[in-house]
Amino acid sequence: MSHADPRSAVRPPPDPAMADIADYVIDYRIDSVEAYDTARYMLLDSLACAALAMDHPGCVRHLGPVVPGAVLPGGARVPFTGHELDPVQAAYNIGVQIRWLDFNDTWLAAEWGHPSDNLGAILAVADYLGRQAQLRGKPGPSVRDVLGHAIKAHEIQGCYALKNSFNRVGLDHVILVRLASSAVATAMLGGDKDQIIAAISHSWIDNGVLRTYRHAPNTGPRKSWAAGDACRRAVTHALNAIKGEVGYPSAISAPTWGFQEVAFEGQPFEFERAFGSYVMENILFKISYPAEFHAQTAVECAMRLHAQVGARIAAEGVDAVEQIVIHTQQAAMRIIDKTGPLANYADRDHCIQYMVAVPLLLGRLRAEDYGDAVAADPRIDALRERMRVEEEPRFTTDYYDPDKRYIGNAVQVFFKDGTQSERISIDYPVGHRRRRGEGIPLLMAKFEGALAAKLPEKQLSQLRALVAEPERLLAEPASGLLALLRA
């Protein structure tokens, strides 16, 4: 019988989509200097996000062992805490820290996501392996090794996202965090190609979580720990594969029961390019504002208008404003265009109207501006009610152009006396590859400020010295870096 016959018990060869990942993770050599340089900044940026998240009780509540007392002395460490955990739970903890504020890197295409989410799994496994190696008097993974795995995890997640829209079938993008982290974590643990295929087959069989928690009327804080949960599941799959758990070769393509048939409307995956280092080289950093990335340039536009608009509102009140027009990309209209009451922090940081209103009024957008105290300012909702969000086709076209990957927005304010502000339009934010020269000093300032508030001076001084010498940082054992991040 044919392998396509659902009655046949003949086990087919692995689906090409799974075999290609295994080949890439094991065989591909990363030679791109730009990819490693960008990955180094990605790591520092992600650590800054983790440090900043520690100011938020909602994040801290998720940290630690899964139940009291379930600790592992000599296990993987959680930055800016005293926790030592098994690598599965440590992956969850670190993933939650990095993702909590929606301030880590971003990738936008047919699917959206945050590839540095994978660091939850990568750092946890690297520290666990490093500390185990130390007990045997052997070297563990270096920071360079961590960056190499991160480049590959970014590439897997990002290349799937280029042409495959999981959100259109209601699935959340963390499905790709679980996929990429399952692959690289298995390799880090010493797995071969067959074991990587086994791990990622289980990842696909898990299906995906629903995007319910990212959208009105159910937006909530699960979106801040969903990536950590994906990292936790990925490390579980990797550990099981290393122990010999069998895989499922047609987990994607099996008739009736495979992922594509059950969850992807029967459609095969599409790919724009082969795996390399493209995603890391083109990654988008969130440097200036902890805001959903489709709104980053809208926030920049509002900041430029603040001096004029904020002063006028202060003098004449919100009633001076007739209308605020926001032109954006089609993707932003689908996920962050919201009207009506906003229930919580998570609702507000995924509302383009809120993210424009605050900087227009206050000349800033900080994490705490999504809290109840700032949201209670009646002027914010009054401005939201005066906003009209429309798609600008050029922004959508440039968003999908592989040579641009722009995330454009434009904002203009119209007043009741017939006057109007300048129309501010920005094609790509400071975190874009085309603004690296402008963005990297700001990223380093973000890193310095975030960690200075969390570490004792001695550790901070050692960390500064290490980061100041890139080659020394890359040669440093990953466990040595994690040791410097202990609270």
332 lies in a domain?
A: yes
- H or E segment and range at residue 34: helix 33-53
Q: Is the Cα torsion angle 124, 130, 133, 134 positive or negative in sign?
A: negative
167-187 average pLDDT score = 98
pLDDT at 2: 39
Same domain (yes/no): 119, 73: yes
Residue 252 maps to a domain: yes
Whether the model clears a pTM of 0.95, i.e. scores above it, the answer is no
Q: How confident is the model at residue 7 (pLDDT cuts 50, 70, 90)?
A: confident
Whether the predicted pLDDT of 130 surpasses 60? yes
* Helix H or strand E segment including 235: helix 222-242
pLDDT at 419 over 80: yes
- Does 91 share its domain with 51? yes
**Residue 450 within a domain:** no
Number of CB atoms found within 10 A of residue 176's CB: 30
pLDDT bucket at 204, cuts 50 / 70 / 90: very high
Is the pLDDT assigned to residue 86 strictly greater than 70? yes
Q: Are strands 321-328 and 387-391 parallel, antiparallel or unpaired?
A: parallel
Instruction: Flag whether pLDDT at 471 surpasses 80.
Output: yes
Chosen domain end from 281, 308, 340:
281
Which residues have CB under 8 Å from 367's CB, separation 6+?
52, 55, 56, 101, 103, 290
CA 168 to CA 83: how far, in whole Å? 38
251 and 106 in a common domain: yes
**What is the total count of domains within the chain?**
2
Residue 6's pLDDT is 66
Average pLDDT of the residues in 377-403: 96
Question: Do the Cβ atoms of 460 and 452 come closer than 8 Å?
Answer: yes
361 and 256 assigned to the same domain? no
Span 415-428, mean pLDDT?
97
User: Of 281, 310, 329, which residue sits at a domain end?
Assistant: 281
pLDDT, averaged across the chain: 96
Any domain includes 287: no
Tokens of 116: 């540095």
pLDDT digits 0-9 by tens, 314-339: 999 999 999 999 999 999 999 999 99
Q: Do 253 and 297 belong together in one domain?
A: no
Q: What is the pLDDT of residue 208?
A: 96
Q: Which of 105-109, 174-178, 190-194, 199-203 has the lowest mean pLDDT?
A: 105-109
**Distance separating alpha carbons of residues 265 and 177, to the nearest angstrom:** 21
Asked if 76 and 204 sit in the same domain, the reply is yes
What is the spatial distance between Cα 300 and Cα 364, in angstroms, rounded to a whole number? 10
CATH of the domain at 384: 3.30.1330.120
Q: What's the one-letter identity of residue 159?
A: C
Q: Which of 379, 396, 429 is the last residue of a domain?
A: 429
pLDDT above 70: percentage of residues in the chain: 99
Q: What is the mean pLDDT of residues 417-427?
A: 97
pLDDT digit string (tens) for 261-298? Answer: 999 999 999 999 999 999 999 999 999 898 899 999 99
Residue 1 confidence class, pLDDT cut points 50, 70, 90: very low
What are the two backbone dihedrals, phi and then psi, of residue 265, each rounded to the nearest 5 degrees?
55, 30
Beta bridge partners of 84: 77
Q: Look up the domain containing 169 and give its range.
A: 16-281
- Rounded Cα–Cα distance for residues 41 and 145 (Å): 15
Among 4-13, 131-140, 283-292, 351-360, the range scoring the smallest mean pLDDT is 4-13
Assigned token pair, 215: 């959208």
Average the pLDDT over 385-406 and give the result: 95
Helix, strand, coil share (%) of the chain residues, nearest 5: 55, 10, 35
Residue 403 lies in a domain: yes
Task: Give the separation between CA 149 and CA 20, rounded to whole angstroms.
Answer: 16
Q: Which residues contact 352 (CB under 8 A, 6 or more apart)?
A: 292, 294, 295, 298, 326, 328, 332, 336, 337, 338, 389
253 & 330 share domain? no
Residue corresponding to tokens 């995906």: 208
Residues 6+ apart with CB under 8 A from 254: 6, 248, 261
Is 333 found in the same domain as 419? yes
- On whether both 224 and 336 belong to a single domain, the answer is no
pLDDT for 16 beyond 80: yes
Output the six-digit token pair for 72: 């592992």
> Do 158 and 75 share a structural domain?
yes
pLDDT for 216? 86
Whether 361 shows a pLDDT value over 80: the answer reads yes
Determine the Cα–Cα distance for residues 295 and 106; give it in Å rounded to an integer. Answer: 12
**What is the model's pLDDT at position 4?**
59
Q: To which residue do tokens 């500390």 refer? A: 131
| pLDDT of 111 above 50 | yes
pLDDT digits (tens, 9 = 90+) for 21-41: 999 999 999 999 999 999 999
Q: Structure tokens of 278?
A: 């493209």
CA distance 40 to 43: 5
In a domain, 454, yes or no: no
Answer whether residue 476 is part of any domain: no
Return the pLDDT at 205. Answer: 98
Output the domain CATH number for residue 194. 1.10.4100.10
Instruction: Fill in the amino acid letter for 184.
Output: V
Q: Are residues 101 and 214 in the same domain?
A: yes
Conformation bin of residue 265: beta by default, left when phi > 0, alpha when psi is -120 to 50: left
Q: Is residue 5 part of a domain?
A: no
**Do 228 and 81 share a domain, yes or no?**
yes
pLDDT of residue 402: 87
Q: Is residue 48 scored above 70 in pLDDT? A: yes
